[in-house]
Chains A and B, each alone.
Chain A
Amino acid sequence: MTGIARRRFDCLVIGAGGAGLRAALQLAQAEVSVAVISKVYPTRSHTVAAQGGINAALGNVRPDNWHWHMYDTVKGGDYLGDQDAIEYMCRAAPRLVVELEHYGVPFTRLENGRIYQRPFGGQSQNFGGEQAARTCAAADRTGHALLHSLYQQNLRAKTHFFDECFVLDLLVDQEGYVLGAFALEIETGEPIVFEAKATLLATGGSARLYRTTTNALINTGDGMAMVLRAGLPLEDMEFVQFHPTGIAGIGILISEGVRGEGGYLVNSRGERFMERYAPKALDLASRDVVSRAIYTEVKEGRGCGPNKDHVLLKLDHLGPEIIKSRLPGIRESAMIFAQVDPIEGPIPVYPTAHYTMGGIPTDRFGRVVAPVRHGPEEAVPGLYAVGECACVSVHGANRLGGNSLLDIVVFGRAAANHILEHLGEYRYHRPLPTGAAEPALARLERWAQSGPGESVDEVREALRLAMEQYCGVFRTQDVLEEGIRQVEALVQRMERARLKDQSKVFNTARVEALELENLMEIALATVYSAAARKESRGAHSRLDYPKRDDVGWLKHTLYYRDERRIDFKPVRTKPMTVDAFPPRERTY
């Protein structure tokens, strides 16, 4: 490691989306030295694309209560969520949303000056009663408004930013302490070693694994893959959420807020088909339910368009005023990408890969936990994870809309608070052993091999197609096993891939190769976990095991990279202070 630049901070935050920025703000305000490393400029993080809003039981529009929010979240996640973490999140929500408002988030307002809230899927009053209105919105640009406000507050707090810096791997010592990370400054191509007493991963999701996705091109599961390479497991990776309404053919997100404002889905016969699948909640049933309904309509020949391959999202009846004031971004997206003005006609939509419910196993303090030595959830010293890359697990087997923006601020803050405690105990940096950066350097070396070989781009596109075909909305054992064969074969092909561009300055090809290595790890985790879980729960829908099996499968999967090993750990069914919600049949 001689000759490599070294930087030292108390805490390292990897990723500058909402989760990383919320955590960094808490740390900077506590006058801890904190560095945020991001492979893009912070305002390019995928949080910017969240549209519909953030949930909190403020009760500004209709009566609400955090306990009802908790019930909906447990039920929405098909009882796989950890109820202590869910209670923590739902109780904290109103305070943290108010805090965001104080940070400057320009929420849409009601006549009385309070934050506007809209109905979203899976929300109820009184534990399954009338539809609730719980989602706080800044028009349909809530993620943008939130991310920019958090970035601005970090600038005020003088957080150190390392923009366009790509982290390759964690630095870990013999005893398993995480001591920082090894990164590449993209502009210069120079490596940097970041030493830190605590490292927080906030690197987001990995739905770029699929050909059709709402995700930005940067969502390649980098943090999750680093954790796998460090010998730690990933949790519940079989649960990939397909958002019901992506623009048909390209996957670009059309917010659930459209249905919250009164939009609805129709098939080629003009039927509001959700009546058949969710007679009570209709178009505001939970996302896994709506996605399967759309898929089924199309499969049974009631799809729209010349190829009968999508359904229509109708909102013209809402009137131009509502569309222009509450859904202006959607209107813009529909006009640009579907060439439809939703004031005049319906938007063609189809389910699209959207959110990674699984991820790095953590507890509700944001500590990364793994079954080592004594118990199933022992904290990995010095390592934290929050946001979509983490699996706290508040979303269980399916995420309710509006809970992801909430998850990032609640657990971003919680992790930062625990890091402050950790820093009190660990006053000094532990020595970085020689060779800690060897694995990361070996990864760079591997891509420095030149000569003929496969192109990274072709392997990536083959991977995304394989995942779509063999690990999609509906699954069976045969299909998943074929998926395993295909992905394993792609791992082999990847070894033969070479870079033609060996330059240093802003080498995007190299970054994309490193990203594909990460995606490959996540693909393996996803197909192996999906083949292991023999039941249908939430987003994981098995045609060969159509029922949920609480006796056999009310447990989390853990996937390890070595030997593609699957392990399990129990679901935390006991909340912090209230009675548990025992599993019941899910109907909407």
Chain B
Amino acid sequence: MKFLIYRYNPETDDKPRMQPYELPDDCGAVMLLDALLLLRRQDETLGFRRSCREGVCGSDGMNINGRNGLACVVRIRDLRQPIAVRPLPGLPVIRDLIVDLTPFFAQYRAVKPWLINHDPEPEIERLQGPEERDRLNGYYECILCACCTSACPSFWWNPERFLGPAALLQAWRFITDSRDQATGDRLDDLEDPYKLFRCHTIMNCADVCPKGLSPTTAINAIRDALAKRVL
């Protein structure tokens, strides 16, 4: 198997380069992460993040043959060779495949991603019917891997002001939660020409989400909620 991997170490490199690597076809790697771990055995300077290796923690988001995804759940046999692996686009590169996620998590924090409820806490759980709970499906499962946001051209153009698909998906997760009482404030915060409305429904986010979620659907739902508020 042949690979071309983005390499950049700020201590030694003036500019990034694509480095070729090779593994025997019978090396046993099924997922791209298996292969990267074997390559690191050859070359321990190759930097990338990884943790759960089963698609639930979001550490190993990267750009694989031009498409964002998690290395641990992308099968090598589905990829055209040489497999080109680059860091997630649109975020500052720290080293090799490792990007600076500070802007991404800042966007997350900006939507106040926590349940807000001002009532006195009941002794038992706050009741929520199965249909109300089902409204969270497709939103609460986000693993914050940044594949969606870093695939979004609107984010590339306005990283400072557009919140990006991941944060907006989180915003809707709380707006639509029957237990949350801050809907009005949340919508006020999002009613802004940039934060929300820079989404041009290109749908890269939904296309690349490794969990099969659709941030676009969340963004449209927020738009609808804002529109209904005006009517």
Contact = CB atoms under 8 A, between A and B. Distances in A.
B98 interface: yes
B47 interface: yes
A48 B179 contact: no
Interface in B159-192: 174, 177, 179-180
B223 interface: no
B41 A48 contact: no
B94 A501 contact: no
Contacts of A49: 52, 54, 56-57
B81 interface: no
Contacts of A192: none
Interface in A71-98: 97-98
Interface string A474-489: 0000000000000000
B143 A48 contact: yes
B80 interface: no
A112 B52 contact: no
A103 B115 contact: yes
Contact of B47 (A40, A333, A499, A508): A508
Given A40-B49, A44-B59, A104-B115, 15 more contacts: A40-B57, A44-B51, A48-B57, A97-B125, A102-B121, A104-B177, A104-B179, A107-B125, A113-B129, A114-B127, A149-B114, A155-B113, A155-B114, A217-B53, A508-B48
A503 B9 contact: yes
Contact of B54 (A44, A153, A252, A509): A252
A473 to B, nearest CB: 22
Nearest to A333: B54
B140 A156 contact: no
A336 interface: yes
A432 B169 CA distance: 46
A337 interface: yes
Interface string B104-129: 01000100111101000101111111
A144 B124 contact: no
Given A102-B126, A113-B128, A155-B113, A505 B10 contact: yes
Contacts of A112: 127
A198 B54 CA distance: 35
Interface string B11-28: 110000000000000000
Contacts, number: 148
B47 A506 contact: yes
A438 interface: no
A101 B73 CA distance: 31
Interface residues of B, number: 55
A144 B56 contact: yes
B51 A501 contact: no
A230 interface: no
Interface of B: 9-12, 40-41, 44-45, 47-59, 73, 94-96, 98, 100-101, 105, 109, 112-115, 117, 121, 123-130, 132-133, 136, 140-141, 143-144, 174, 177, 179-180
10 contacts: A46-B52, A102-B126, A104-B114, A106-B133, A112-B127, A115-B125, A145-B140, A252-B54, A504-B11, A506-B47
Contacts of A456: 44
A499 B55 CA distance: 29
A41 B12 CA distance: 26
Contact of A101 (B44, B95, B100, B125): B125
A100 to B, nearest CB: 9
Contacts of A155: 109, 113-114
A341 interface: no
Given A104-B115, A145-B140, A114 B57 contact: no
Residue among A41, A187, A253, A329 facing the most chain B CB atoms (10 A cut-off): A41
Contacts of B59: 40-41, 44
Contact of B144 (A43, A98, A149): A43
B94 A109 contact: no
A112 B53 CA distance: 37
A462 B189 CA distance: 54
A44 B9 contact: no
Contacts of A253: 54
Given A104-B179, A114-B124, A48 B52 contact: yes
A101 B136 CA distance: 14
A26 to B, nearest CB: 15
Nearest to A112: B127
Contacts of A229: none
A216 B45 contact: no
Contacts of A217: 50-53
Contact of A506 (B53, B95, B113, B136): B95
A152 interface: yes
A457 interface: yes
Nearest to B178: A113
Which of the listed residues B51, B53, B129, B133 has the most CB atoms from chain A within 10 Å of its own CB? B51
A218 B11 CA distance: 26
Contacts of A216: 51-53, 57
A218 B141 contact: no
Contacts of B130: 108-111
Contact of B44 (A41, A109, A153, A509): A509
Interface string A245-282: 00000001100000000000000000000000000000
A292 interface: no
A499 B43 CA distance: 11
B94 A187 contact: yes
A144 B180 CA distance: 20
A569 interface: no
Contacts of A98: 123-125
Nearest to B50: A217
Contacts of B123: 98
Given A156-B114, A455-B41, A106 B95 contact: no
B94 A505 contact: yes
A503 B113 CA distance: 37
**3 smallest beta-carbon distances between A and B, as pairs:** A113-B127, A104-B115, A152-B114
A217 B177 CA distance: 34
Contact of A505 (B95, B101, B113, B143): B95
A138 to B, nearest CB: 8
Contact of A337 (B12, B54, B114, B180): B54
A332 interface: yes
Contacts of A97: 125
B55 A336 contact: yes
Residue with the highest number of chain B CB atoms closer than 10 Å, among A43, A144, A500: A43
A149 B54 contact: no
Contact of B101 (A41, A103, A110, A111): A41
Given A41-B105, A114-B125, A252-B54, A457 B73 contact: no
A499 B53 contact: no
A399 B195 CA distance: 47
Given A109-B130, A216-B57, A509 B11 contact: no
A503 B57 contact: no
